[in-house]
Amino acid sequence: MMISSTALSVIVVVATLVASLTPILLLALFIRDWKKGCLW
Amino acid sequence: MTGLDAPILPTSIAWGLLIAFSILWVLLGWWLGRRNRTAEDHMLAGRNVGLALATATAMATWVTANTTMTAPQLALQLGVWGMLGYSLGALGLILFAPLARRIRELMPGGFTSGDFIRLRFGTFTWRVFLVVSLIYAFGWLVSMAMAGGVLINALAGIDYRVGMSVILTVCVIYTLLGGLRAVIGTDFIQTIIIIAGAAFIAWLTIDRVGFEAIHFNLMEERPELLSLLFPAAIMFLFNNLLFGVGEIFHSNVWWSRAFAFGRNVGFRAYLLGGLLWLPIPIVAGFVALATPALGINVPAADMVGPLVAAEVLGLTGAIVVFIVVFAALASSLDSLLAATSDLVTRDIYRGHIRPQASEQSQFRATKVIVVLLGLLTWLAASYRGELPIIGSLAELLYFTGAFVASAIWPIVAGLYWRRANPHGAAWSMILGSGIGLASYFLIGFYVAALVGAAVSLAVMVLSTWLAPRSFDWDRLSRDASTEEVRTA
Residue B3 has pLDDT above 60, yes or no: no
Residue B445 has pLDDT above 80, yes or no: no
Question: What whole-number distance in Å separates Cα of residue B460 and Cα of residue B438?
Answer: 20
Chain A environment of B46 (Cβ under 8 Å): 40
Residue B414 identity (one-letter amino acid): G
Q: Report DSSP letters for B267-322, one per residue.
A: HHHHHHHHHHHTTHHHHHHHGGGGHHHHT---SSGGGHHHHHHHHHHHHHHHHHHH
Q: What class has domain B11-388?
A: mainly alpha
Task: Read off the pLDDT of residues B43-70 as tens digits, 9 standing for 90 and up.
Answer: 898 899 999 999 999 998 888 766 777 7
Nearest to B53 among A9, A15, A39 (CB): A39
DSSP classification of residue B38: S
Q: Domain limits of chain B?
A: 11-388
Task: Read off the pLDDT of residues B382-395 as tens digits, 9 standing for 90 and up.
Answer: 876 655 555 565 66
Contact B315, B79 (CB under 8 A): no
Which pLDDT score, from 0 to 100, does residue B140 have?
Answer: 82
Do A3 and B228 lie within an 8 Å CB cutoff? yes
pLDDT band at B294 (very low <50, low <70, confident <90, very high): confident
pLDDT band at B227 (very low <50, low <70, confident <90, very high): confident
In chain B, residues 244-263 whose CB comes closer than 8 Å to chain A: 262
Contact B68, B328 (CB under 8 A): yes
Residue B215 has pLDDT above 80, yes or no: yes
Task: Read off the pLDDT of residues B352-370 as tens digits, 9 standing for 90 and up.
Answer: 999 888 888 988 999 999 9
Q: Does B391 touch chain A (CB under 8 A)?
A: no
Question: What whole-number distance in Å separates Cα of residue B285 and Cα of residue B74?
Answer: 7
Nearest to A15 among B46, B56, B279 (CB): B279
**Nearest CA among B225, B201, B178 for reference residue B82:** B225
Distance of CA B207 to the CA centre of its chain: 31
Contact A38, B299 (CB under 8 A): no
- B251: helix, coil or strand? coil
Task: Read off the pLDDT of residues B457-481 as tens digits, 9 standing for 90 and up.
Answer: 999 999 999 999 999 998 888 776 6
Q: Which pTM does this prediction carry?
A: 0.89
Burial B149-187 (b: 16+ CB within 10 A, else e): bbbbbbbbbbebeebbbbbbebbbbbbbbbbbbbbbbbb
What sign does the dihedral B319-B325-B331-B336 (CA atoms) show?
negative
Q: Percent of chain B at pLDDT above 70?
A: 93
pLDDT band at B2 (very low <50, low <70, confident <90, very high): very low
Q: Nearest CA to CA, how far is A35 from chain B (Å)? A: 12
Which pLDDT score, from 0 to 100, does residue A13 have?
Answer: 95
